[in-house]
Structure 1
Amino acid sequence: MVWIHGGAFIIGSGTRLYDATILSSLNDVIVVTINYRLGALGFFSTGDDVAPGNYGFLDQVEALGWVQQNIAAFGGDPNTVTLFGQSAGAISIHYHVLSPMSKGLFKRTILQSGTATIKGFMAQSDDASRTNIIANGLGKFVGCEKDNSKELLECLRAVPADEFRDAFYVTKLAIANMTKIKDMMIPFPPTLDGEFVKEDPLNTETKFNGEELMIGATTDEGFMMYLPLFPVHDSEFTVNKTMYEAMYSMLISDKNQAVLDAVKLIYVDWDHADEEDANYLSALCQMAGDMMFVCPSDLAARAHSAQGINTYLYQMTHVPATTLWPVKTGTSLHADDIQFVFGYPLLSEMQLVLGGNEKTLFKQTPNENDIQVSLQTMKYWTNFAKTGNPNRSSASDDDNNDDWPLFTVPGLAYKQLSLSMENSNALKARECAFWNQFVKKLQQSGDTCVNKEESKYSEEANSP
């Protein structure tokens, strides 16, 4: 099992947070964690052939090639490699599923809260101005204001590595004319480079790499987007109507009024919509989580199932007693599933080694419910890695798909990762129909109306 860490392609490490001792020792698997270049060093692009980007992905390809060549010496099987990762790590893995450069490097994939089908996260050809602003903005901060990509790259290569690395911080890029929230979150996104990424993941008809897929998200993926609203983390988490009106459209790339109105219709609690002091936080969080994580996962699950690939969908609904976030919301947040996959609820404390010094990441009194959820989650993950089926640990096991049923269309079965581990159907089906199907139709409808109005006024202006 090869773990690819997350961190928005700008932060993270394959070693600092991901101790796989429990996962590997209790479940008889070999776990490899890898590093890859991040931020400007990993994903800087000029939007052309001079610096196409995706260097961090190429690092991952090299690491997967190393696993193929060497894992047998550790007792592993290069023919049964499973990639698993969370957030940007899951996004990375989905790109490997799509990339011709990754063909034959793995057999199965597990995507935790992230896919390549998150709209707006990949810089495309029509994002040239955005890419240029980012590239030139970084150049400005290190003294490389140049007229063209070639001169810019030559100058940047002469900048000391530490200075170049530190120049990409989001606060500096925000000063360099970055105005869109998605640009600030992912200042150096994957690019359509023509080599590793040959086509838009949202439009691809490529046959996917890999034979089976497990994919899912948590119940409150979106809260992390709004955590900065609450600098005092023990305060009440409340967003009133005025704040909601000012904020709800910020993450939505298309400002088509029909789309914005539909978002309100779907997510606002209309029983209290006339109350200024009603709490709109859930409307914000569920919208952001569905748009960026849950519904792209639904889109990917449907696409894989349509190609005949055995697909297993999940949602983590269990609320952990201990979270790595500085808050407790009573919900399962983005990345809360990681601790259950790695078995951290079995620990009383976890240590990190930073710069040669030990640092306690957390101390906890082990919680029996968390332990049970973690043990079962690890079993599902490792069963899937071994057999392609989370219900079977070996070829000799009974094929009990009633435990975790396949995701199919129709059917839409999924597993709730909770103490009861119950099965459900149609995860956020209405919301995902909206984001994956109807938003595009609303956009086209709005464009048609605008074009008709423009044509009308143009005819009136030109008439005698």
Structure 2
Amino acid sequence: MSPHRVLTALGCALTVVLTTAGAPARSQPTPGPAPARAAATTVRTQDGPVRGAAHDGYRTFLGIPYAAPPVGRLRWAAPRPVSPWTGVLDATRPASACPQPAGEVPGGSTDEDCLRLDVTTPDGARPTHPRPVIVWLHGGGLTTGAAGSYDARRLATRGDVVVVTVDYRLGALGFLAHAGLPGSGTFGLADQQAALRWVRAGIGAFGGDARNVTLAGESAGGYSVCAQLASPAAARLFDRAIIQSGPCTGRPDRPFAPSSAALPTANAAGRDLAAKVGCRAARDALACLRRVDVARLLAAQGADQQPAYGTPLLPVAPGAAIASGRFHRVPVLIGSNHDEGNAWAAGIVRAGNPVDPDTWPDVVAAFFPAPGQAPAIVREYPVHRTDGGPVFGAVIGDADFACPTAATARLLAARVPVRRYEFADEHAPPLIPGPPPFPLGAPHASELPYLFDLGGRPRALTAAQHRLADAMIGYWTRFARTGDPDGPSAPHWPRRTALSLAPDRIVPTRTTRSRHHCAFWDALGPARR
């Protein structure tokens, strides 16, 4: 197998299915009488009244704007305040996702008026005591994903918390860097901060405690939490952090996990994008880029995006900031999944790229091209006749997720309280269509159905998996409430030991580093460039 063939397969290796209903036209403020349930579902925010929907035991408010539409001259500008409204904003239907290619969002999206958020709250707008708030940042390589994919009803009602899911600019529209452009490479991160400021200012109207906000995310959303921990501009915007499968120490030379890029590298990528859409030679390249049709930008951008560091919003890479202690001192819950890499490996195998003893050295060399690395990995992870796919998955998972997560947790724990988990349900509901070429175990994103109803449809769980889901929601929401996930009816979560999460087997584990070959990956070191 040639390196080019392997790397080409990467683009279609993992498609997480979080299908949502097609988004209707954008809701607009409309004056006039509210429907009969207005007393229960109409809330006055700092920008104007919004009308949500009442359900059995909870309420939702969808598509609330937290910043002005980033269109025209505001494309690639810092988020600006919302223009207040006087009529009642219809918040009963999903808003459009931020621009992205087709995939998680059916048909994709080209709607730049997307700086919106959804609020899910248990019944009772003003409880005796304000509820903790969890602000969720979706994953998707900073290129795809949507707040509306994550139905938070179980998290909100079982945990008695207010959940806010956020849409933020993605792809080139969120992370373009260009010489002379203020905010280069960090517009999506700035959007997340604008949403957090909105929460601090107004979540009390929904029964949430603006002084008790947990910022949480998975994959690219988890890495976004890392970036916010490292961003001076995010100071005092959140009180705790949850990082799921988005370790802060991700590196560009290990391409499956999210990472960041130095500003000069990001600027070079921005010049390449400008050339692809015909703007590189323009007298005013930025003005030219702001006129380019969204669909054309989406076609020209890369499959994954990286925030730029060496910028005012992100002065240093998140991993470096955490290693040096230059991050916000908040408690952190962090973890990864036992078989993170299996879905990518399965996608590559299913695309017609066999992994067997003959091809294995070339596969490894394609992803680890630095001199001396590939032979060492082949020796550490030998492939026998029929186990090539799972071995490849183990390499991806260990190098990009398990060991970086352990390293991130260790660095954080030197300065703040940390609780670490490993999700280990080997029969987790599949998130990719069709039968896999080998059992996937607990791959990337497989913990999400235990916290959310993805796409508004609960996955089929066994009785034991339902108990695990309830336990995880308990841990997550107790952490959001107090910074301590432990509870009187749950297995104890030790402070210095990772907790393995599996159906009817929630136990501390001290073998994570050895099981995932972390001493080997630590010794292998970064690629020399």
Task: Calculate the TM-score normalised by the size of structure 2.
Answer: 0.67
Check whether the contact 2:250–2:404 (CA below 8 A) recurs between aligned residues: yes
Alignment-derived partner of residue 290 in structure 2: 157
Mapping of residues 262-273 of structure 1, within 5 Å: 262-268=376-382, 272=384
Cα deviation per residue 1:5-28 (whole Å; 9 max; x = unaligned)? Answer: 00000000011x200011111121
- Counting only pairs closer than 5 Å after superposition, residues 3-14 of structure 1 correspond to structure 2 as 3-14=136-147
Distance 1:202 1:39 in 2: 22
Matched, 1:422 2:511: no
Paired residue for 1:293?
401
Equivalent of 2:429 in 315, 318, 322? 322
1:339 maps to 2:460: no
CA-CA distance at 1:50 after TM superposition: 6.1
Q: Write out per-residue CA displacement over residues 430-454 of structure 1, whole angstroms, 9 at most, x where no aligned residue.
A: 7223333x223x978xx9xxxxxxx
Aligned-pair identity (%): 28
> Root-mean-square deviation (CA), in Å?
2.7
In the alignment, structure 2 segments of 5+ residues that lack a partner are 1-133, 253-258
Tell me the distance in 1 between the aligned counterparts of 2:424 and 2:467: 14
Query: Number of residues paired by the alignment?
Result: 383
C-alpha separation between the residues in 2 aligned to 1:55 and 1:325? 30
What is residue 377 of structure 1 aligned with on the other side?
A: 472
More helix per residue: 1 or 2?
1
Report the residue type matching 2:331 in the other structure: E
Q: Deviations over 1:223-245 (max 9, x none)?
A: 2333333447xx9x962112212
Shift of 1:295: 1.4
What amino acid maps onto 2:187 in structure 1? Answer: Y
Structure that is richer in strand per residue: 2
CA distance in structure 2 between the aligned counterparts of 1:50 and 1:433, rounded to whole angstroms: 41
Partners of 1:283 and 1:426 in 2: CA distance: 19
Report Cα offsets for 1:182-222 as digits up to 9, x if no partner: xxx52x31111421111133333134214211111111111
Task: Look up the match of 1:137.
Answer: 272
Letter in 1 for 2:275: K
Q: Show structure 1 runs of 5+ residues with no match.
A: 171-184, 345-349, 353-360, 408-412, 448-464
Instruction: Identify if the C-alpha distance between structure 1 residues 6 and 321 changes in structure 2 by more than 3 Å, giving closer, same or farther.
Output: closer
State the distance in 2 between where 1:331 and 1:213 align: 26
Superposed counterparts of 1:23-422, under 5 Å: 23-46=155-178, 52-120=184-252, 121-125=259-263, 128=265, 131-132=267-268, 134-146=269-281, 151-168=284-301, 170=302, 185-186=303-304, 188-204=305-321, 205-231=324-350, 239-252=355-368, 255-257=370-372, 259-268=373-382, 272=384, 277-307=385-415, 309-326=416-433, 327-328=435-436, 329-342=439-452, 344=453, 364=460, 366-392=461-487, 403-407=492-496, 413-419=497-503, 420-422=505-507
Q: Is the CA contact 2:175–2:186 (under 8 Å) kept in the aligned structure 1?
A: yes
Judged with a 3 Å threshold, the aligned counterparts in structure 2 of structure 1 residues 43 and 79 are, in CA distance, closer, same or farther, namely: same
User: Alpha-carbon deviations, 1:79-126, whole Å to 9, x = none?
Assistant: 21111110000000011111111110111111110023101121115x
Hey, what's the Cα distance between the residues in 2 that align with 1:317 and 1:323?
Answer: 14
Q: Deviations over 1:305-358 (max 9, x none)?
A: 111x1111111111345222224524011000011122x4xxxxx765xxxxxx
TM-score of the superposed pair, with normalisation by structure 1: 0.76
Distance in structure 1 (CA, Å) of the matches to 2:194 and 2:447: 27
Q: Distance in 1 between matches of 2:450 and 2:469?
A: 4
Distance (Å, rounded) in 2 between the aligned partners of 1:443 and 1:123: 15
Deviations 1:129-188 (A, max 9, x none): x742x32332233222327xx8322211122334333432x4xxxxxxxxxxxxxx52x3
Residue of structure 2 in register with 1:176 after alignment:
none
Judge conservation of contact 1:113–1:218 (CA < 8 Å) in 2: yes
Amino acid at match of 1:286: A
For residue 150 of structure 2, give the secondary structure of its aligned residue in structure 1.
Answer: coil
Whether the aligned pair in 2 keeps the contact of 1:123 and 1:131 (CA below 8 Å) is: no
Of 434, 437, 459, the residue aligned with 2:520 is 434
Partner of 1:461: none
Equivalent-residue separation in structure 1 for 2:408 and 2:459 (angstroms) = 37
Once residues 213 and 36 of structure 1 are traced to their aligned partners in structure 2, the CA distance between those partners, rounded to angstroms, is 23
- Seen in structure 2, the aligned counterparts of structure 1 residues 238 and 371 have a Cα distance that, compared at 3 Å, is farther
Contact 2:346 2:389 (C-alpha < 8 Å) held by counterparts: no
What is the SS of the residue equivalent to 1:417? strand
Runs ≥4 residues deviating over 3 A? 47-51, 361-364
Secondary structure, counterpart of 1:242 in structure 2: coil
